[in-house]
Amino acid sequence: MKAADIMTTKVFTIHSLATITEAIALMQDQRVRSLIVEPSNEEDTYGIITETDIVYQVTAKEKDPEQIMVYQIMTKPCIVVNPDLSLENIARLFAETGIGRAPVIQEQLLGMISVTDILMKYNVARKTASDPVSAKIHEALLHSRVVSDPQEQIDRESEIAWDVIEEIQTD
């Protein structure tokens, strides 16, 4: 199994000149633990800002999040993962570097993979669906972010399933 098989494809980005307040608001709104920092130009690299960065470098130091910019605390360049990298190699990379998530990039940003993705989706991805519709729904669900609210997760999974069914009906 590879990164592309279980990565989350819905990734949220932020500009390096955004304030930490804006980053926090986006993280809260989207229920994510990190944001990818967009490159400033074509030669630039991606960065990443995580909830840990904010807590350790802003909150713990009693800094005003309105006065701190993303570029001041982000990690750049960040470690990136190739979509063809095996889960075992990704787990090894995470263990050796102490990171918990990384963008999946191959010429462009394709997704994000995290320790949670590996843990929560690995066993699910190994199960096979018995019919084509279930298989397509299963594939779509693999690429949605796991959320802490069970009802929201059910709602999201239902929405994904209906999208897949509508797509199949139009084909």
For the stretch 80-122, pLDDT in tens is 999 999 999 999 999 999 999 999 999 899 999 999 888 877 6
The two most distant CA atoms of the chain are separated, in Å, by 55
Q: What is this structure's pTM?
A: 0.69
- Identify the residue with better confidence: 142 or 148: 142
The residue whose two tokens read 């807590």 is 55
pLDDT digits (tens, 9 = 90+) for 37-61: 999 888 889 999 999 999 999 999 9
DSSP structure string for 99-140: -SEEEEEESEEEEEEEHHHHHHHHHHHHS--SSHHHHHHHHH
For the ranges 61-65, 124-128, 129-133, which has the lowest average pLDDT?
A: 124-128
Question: What is the three-class DSSP state of 4?
Answer: helix
Average pLDDT over residues 119-138: 65
| pLDDT interval class at 132 (50, 70, 90) | confident
Helix then strand then coil, % of the chain, to nearest 5: 50, 20, 35
Q: Is the pLDDT at 137 greater than 90, yes or no?
A: no
Q: What is the rounded (10 degree) CA torsion for 161, 164, 170, 171?
A: -140
